Amino acid sequence: MTVKKTGNIYPNIFRFNLGNFEITTILDGLVQRDGPYPIFGQNKDEEDVHKLCKQNFLPEKKFEHGFTPLIINTGNEIILFDTGNGKLNEENGKLIDLIEYSGYRHEDISKIVITHCHPDHIGGLMYIEDGYFKNASIIIGEVEYESWKTGKNIPDQRKANKELFEKICMPLSDRMEFIRPDQDVVTGITAVNGFGHSPGHMCYSIESDNKSLFFAADITNHFVVSMQVPDWHVMFDDNKEMAVESRKRILSMLASSKIPMIGYHMPFPAIGFVEKNSSPGYNWVPVSYQLSF
């Protein structure tokens, strides 16, 4: 008898408490791509990238990319950070189903925080045209919004992305609130300058009952070929040198403070610690049971 294989299965919801906040990470989808070179290590030789992959037990010519929106239940509001691929890629856009599978309802979301306007973060806003998220305001960085609206500091490689922004985000402007670094979304959730990956890319510091967490969004796009070598250029970064500066600054802060980090493209559940290594970079230490208490 031949037994049919059913395919790979991945966990896609992870939840824990941070003080009085309930935190949920959601795996909106996964893609397997050729690479990581030349997407990662654009300013290096291909052999350098292959060597680093091999040292970390990773394939040299393939890599996996996950997409992880974040939900924070503060007790008063339910806040969604980024919306995944949405209708741009139905195979990797399962946000509505996963929100409801996690125990929430889409209409419970009171705020949607967009860290930046790349497609895999704004695609889910298209669900709004189908009647979803009807009770949510949209919070976005002021610099980020104005950059995409005017085209200032938007590189040529993002032309299609700008057109997507105009299609998806501009019609929702009347529902948007604009935020700057060091301003609060709500008490305990504060915007942090992470500019470079996109013109106004924002990270968020999260604190509740003397416990801390950091949502780094896309400050680093891979747990090895970006985090271990923060000076390496990444194709996804719109301003390469500014992205390097922000990456090094934030990773250094996290390594020193030992605050756990959620990264949008880190291996699911996308939560871990940043550890200084012997080179100029950092190691990713995945969370185990540290957040269970």
Collapsing DSSP states into helix, strand and coil, what is residue 222?
coil
Neighbours of 50 (CB within 10 A): 17
Predicted confidence (pLDDT) per residue in 113-145, tens digit: 999 999 999 999 999 999 999 999 999 999 999
What DSSP element (H or E) covers 23? strand 21-26
Residues 233-252, mean pLDDT to the nearest whole number? 98
How would residue 1 be classed by pLDDT, with cut points 50, 70 and 90? confident
- Asked whether the beta carbons of 214 and 163 are under 8 A apart, the reply is no
186-222 residue pLDDT tens: 999 999 999 999 999 999 999 999 999 999 999 999 9
For residue 72, the model assigns a pLDDT of 98
| Across 34-60, average pLDDT | 97
Over residues 262-290, the pLDDT tens digits come to 999 999 999 999 999 988 899 999 999 99
Could you give the angle at the alpha carbon of 161 between the alpha carbons of 170 and 246, nearest 5°?
100
- Residue 198 DSSP class: S
pLDDT digit string, tens, across residues 57-109: 999 999 999 999 999 999 999 999 999 999 887 666 689 999 999 999 999 99
* Cα(26)–Cα(99) distance, integer angstroms: 8
Whole-angstrom distance, CA of residue 156 vs CA of residue 212: 38
Among 208, 189, 203, 260, CA closest to 18: 208
For residue 204, which of 193, 191, 220 has the smallest C-alpha distance?
A: 191
Best CATH choice for the domain 13-292 from the list 3.20.20.60, 3.60.15.10, 1.10.10.60, 3.60.21.10? 3.60.15.10
209 Cβ contact list (under 8 Å, min separation 6): 19, 20
pTM for this model (two decimals) = 0.96
Stretch 149-170: mean pLDDT: 95
